[in-house]
Chain A
């Protein structure tokens, strides 16, 4: 289980997802052209990026948790919480941006820490642990808020709306987070340990890795990503909203994007590049549906089929190789 062989194996699904992305863009081009429109206009390219930035950031964090053999169902509520913490502390004043961002990151890290500790110390399955934490946050949100609250100052709203040519700042933020996670996974000891723990926790433990600590760290990082996504959404909405995370379905959708990108749900295999591809694939699919004005029920059916088929394809490719 050397780092090299892991890297070699995970490259394949990544290629598949980017090939699929290219294929989808080509297909979209044809379909929209037949419909009498133009597929990749400036606006739709900007739209694809705007639409995928928040999900992309959450999915990067989710990738870390899943690679370590865990998963996080609490991100959706955490995003709502983060957007509210940000908007409430900012209260429309520029001077409060830094404390607000710091508070969001602190709250997120704390939630991640709780997730991680419940999983490792109390030995609760990640599914139940993060579902439980999600319920706790939900109760607090419902108790304290009954609608959008707080106010994001103009200067911070630029994060959600500004762009350099065709590239929105939010997409750059996403790229930054993705590159940082890629660096962490492929160039640091922690990254190596994440793969090792996700691959086989018992073996990792026997080889001297403090597996509990690795899992806790990935959860803290995953929650931080959710917090950053919450900040981004707050800047888009101009306020905090108690339902922004759940309305966006960021919990299940981020997991779907991760596995669509070829990361194994069981952990240990995959990477951030695939996740970026998976998120882009979902966003391009969405844009295509938008252009063709496809009814939302058809969208659900197509999304469901795409996710299952993609993972089935990856499973096929891995078949017959030493596991």
Chain B
């Protein structure tokens, strides 16, 4: 029986090699992102550097921090940092347009907020006659089928938010030959999409958070780093950047723990560390989902909350204000979900777009907190949705009309 199966597999593959194939053309990708610089950080408690770390990307992202974005004032989702424009005249065609979107998933609040924002943006433009979206439910294999299916639907442009970088590359490559492709959030290992839209990136996120702790925590202070889970590219960059910063500092990283994004587990971990070390002087987090739980761990232990990093979710911003925390909230803005629609229309109208569209990536500080705190929005709403001017706000995002 096993031999039979193997034979069937091999035979089928060999015999049919010449038949029809939907397989995209040969891959020329550079393979896994090689760690160009794996500095050792022994002694500082940060462990070995992630194999995802790329020094050049790290340097580039940190350099963008000080650059002024180009584009309309007050509309960060249309702004771009250091854009290298690419010509799109070959894609120019008359409307109305049919836009298609292959979405990795809507399985977390960040993607929920983003997805609602994108739908609202699509509703703004009357030249979009049809907007077809397929949800891959977090499955690579389904997204590959979805991209193939969308190509058959007569889309004028295809927007892709890849579920994973490496495994979606062949599918995106296959689509590139047929329609203009716009990729956002995660990238792919090919430059065939017309534009790749992303906020500056994870290195800046991680470094912003770590820099804040280096500034606020006295030398020798004990810092605990909480991460969601290992192996997620967009999160690995955040931690690897923080590691670089911590390794250069005088802070002592007493632990790097994974929370699985679970609030109860986060609270327990922080409790354990408080018990073991008596106190903690700083808390670095790679995302804000469990920041409130971490703060509560200190409150329940009757201790002052040390400097902490969070994200732009409303529950954390509210806690920040109520408990008068020393905090910072780097962001990975959900307004990036507006940009692909805008980019698609520019491309179809033959206007040039940045090849890599780096969106500004602000951080929320004590001074800007009041601007972003919106008490009428749900606790897991992301403040940087850029959705306040869109129709249906705030109800469609779960908020209350004030």
Establish whether A and B are touching in the complex (CB under 8 Å).
yes
Whether, in the assembled complex, A3 has its beta carbon less than 8 Å from a beta carbon of chain B, the answer is no
User: Chain B residue with minimal CB distance to A148?
Assistant: B166
Candidates B2, B26, B133, B144; contact of A154 at CB < 8 Å: B26
Whether, in the assembled complex, A21 has its beta carbon less than 8 Å from a beta carbon of chain B, the answer is no
Whether, in the assembled complex, B1 has its beta carbon less than 8 Å from a beta carbon of chain A, the answer is yes
Q: Which residues on A sit within 8 Å (CB–CB) of B145?
A: 47, 50-51
Cα-based distance from A63 to B353 in the complex (angstroms) = 53
Best-buried of B142, B149, B232 by chain A (most CB within 10 Å): B149
Question: Which residues 279-294 in A have Cβ within 8 Å of B in the complex?
Answer: 290, 293
Cα-based distance from A163 to B20 in the complex (angstroms) = 5
B139:A247 contact, CB within 8 angstroms: yes
Candidates A158, A247, A293; contact of B23 at CB < 8 Å: A158
A164:B13 contact, CB within 8 angstroms: no
Given known pairs A180-B4, A247-B139, A248-B139, the reply for A236 and B13 (CB within 8 Å) is: no
Cα-based distance from A162 to B9 in the complex (angstroms) = 12
A247:B138 contact, CB within 8 angstroms: yes
A158:B16 contact, CB within 8 angstroms: yes
Q: Which residues on B sit within 8 Å (CB–CB) of A239?
A: 166-167
Given known pairs A162-B17, A296-B135, the reply for A43 and B148 (CB within 8 Å) is: yes
B137:A296 contact, CB within 8 angstroms: yes
- Chain B: minimal CB distance from A102 (Å): 8
A238:B10 contact, CB within 8 angstroms: no
Cα-based distance from A75 to B23 in the complex (angstroms) = 27
Q: How many A residues touch B, CB cutoff 8 Å?
A: 61
Q: Which residues on A sit within 8 Å (CB–CB) of B56?
A: none
Given known pairs A146-B231, A164-B16, A293-B133, the reply for A237 and B21 (CB within 8 Å) is: no
- Chain A: minimal CB distance from B221 (Å): 29
Whether, in the assembled complex, A257 has its beta carbon less than 8 Å from a beta carbon of chain B, the answer is no
Given known pairs A47-B145, A238-B167, A296-B106, the reply for A224 and B5 (CB within 8 Å) is: yes
User: Chain B residue with minimal CB distance to A188?
Assistant: B1
Candidates B2, B12, B22, B164; contact of A224 at CB < 8 Å: B2
Chain B residues in the interface with A (C-beta under 8 A) = 1-2, 4-6, 8-10, 12-13, 16-17, 19-24, 26-27, 31-32, 50-52, 106-107, 132-135, 137-142, 144-146, 148-149, 151-153, 163-167, 169-170, 230-233, 236
Given contacts A47-B145, A146-B52, A244-B167, 9 further A-B contacts (CB under 8 A): A43-B149, A101-B9, A105-B6, A147-B32, A148-B165, A164-B20, A172-B12, A224-B1, A224-B2
User: 5 A-B pairs, CB-CB below 8 angstroms?
Assistant: A44-B152, A105-B6, A162-B22, A224-B5, A239-B166
